A and B are shown apart, each in its own frame.
Chain A
Amino acid sequence: MNRAAVEQLLDRWINDPAFRQELRADPEAAVRRTGTGLDDTEWAALRQVDWSLPDEELQSRVSKAV
Chain B
Amino acid sequence: MLATFPGTDPEAVFTQAAELVTGLAASEAQRGLLLTALAGLKRQARADEALIYARLPLLVHVGCGCRVEAAMPLAAATTLLFLGIDILDDLADGDLPEHWQARRPAEINLAAATLLAALPQAILATLPVPASRLAAMQRTLALGLLAMSAGQQQDLALAGSTAPDPRMVEDSVVAKSGEEVAMFAKLSAQFAGAEPAVAAAYADYGRALGAGGQLASDCHDIFQAEVSNDLANGSRTLPIALHLQKLGGRERREFLALLDEARLGEAARQEVRRRLRAAGQLRHCALIVEIYHQTALKALALAGPQEPAAQGLKVLVAKISFFAK
Chain A residues near B (Cβ < 8 Å): 1, 3, 6-7, 9-10, 13-14, 40-42, 44-46, 48-50, 53, 55, 58-66
Contacts and interface: CB of A to CB of B under 8 A. Distances in A.
A18 to B, nearest CB: 16
Contacts of B221: 64
B287 A3 contact: no
B283 A55 contact: yes
A6 B223 CA distance: 21
Nearest to A44: B294
Interface stretch (B6-14, B46-54, B92-100, B251-259): B46-54
29 contacts: A3-B166, A3-B167, A6-B288, A9-B287, A10-B287, A14-B279, A41-B291, A41-B298, A44-B298, A46-B287, A48-B321, A49-B290, A49-B323, A55-B282, A55-B283, A58-B282, A58-B286, A58-B322, A59-B223, A59-B224, A59-B277, A61-B323, A62-B216, A62-B282, A64-B217, A65-B49, A65-B50, A65-B319, A66-B217
Given A3-B167, A41-B291, A55-B282, 6 more contacts: A14-B279, A42-B291, A45-B290, A48-B293, A64-B220, A65-B319
Contacts of A7: 242, 284
A27 B148 CA distance: 37
A61 B167 CA distance: 24
Contacts of B105: none
Contacts of A53: 323
B240 interface: no
Interface of B: 48-50, 52, 166-167, 170, 209, 213, 216-217, 219-221, 223-225, 242, 277, 279-280, 282-284, 286-288, 290-291, 293-295, 297-298, 319-325
A64 B283 contact: no
Contacts of B50: 65-66
B194 to A, nearest CB: 23
Contacts of A64: 216-217, 220-221, 224-225
Contacts of B280: 10, 13-14
The prevalent SS among residues of A at the interface is: helix
B166 A48 contact: no
Contacts of A42: 291, 294
Given A41-B294, A45-B290, A61 B217 contact: no
Contacts of B290: 45, 48-49
A21 to B, nearest CB: 15
A66 B284 contact: no
Nearest to A2: B291
A63 B277 CA distance: 16
B322 A41 contact: no
A10 B291 CA distance: 14
Contacts of B167: 3
B293 A45 contact: yes
A32 B295 CA distance: 21
Contacts of A1: 291, 295
Given A6-B291, A10-B287, A66-B209, A48 B323 contact: yes
A10 B297 CA distance: 23
Nearest to B317: A66
Nearest to B209: A66
Contact of B283 (A58, A65, A66): A58
Which of A42, A48, A60 has its CB near the most chain B CB atoms (within 10 A)? Answer: A48
A63 B317 CA distance: 12
Contacts of B213: 66
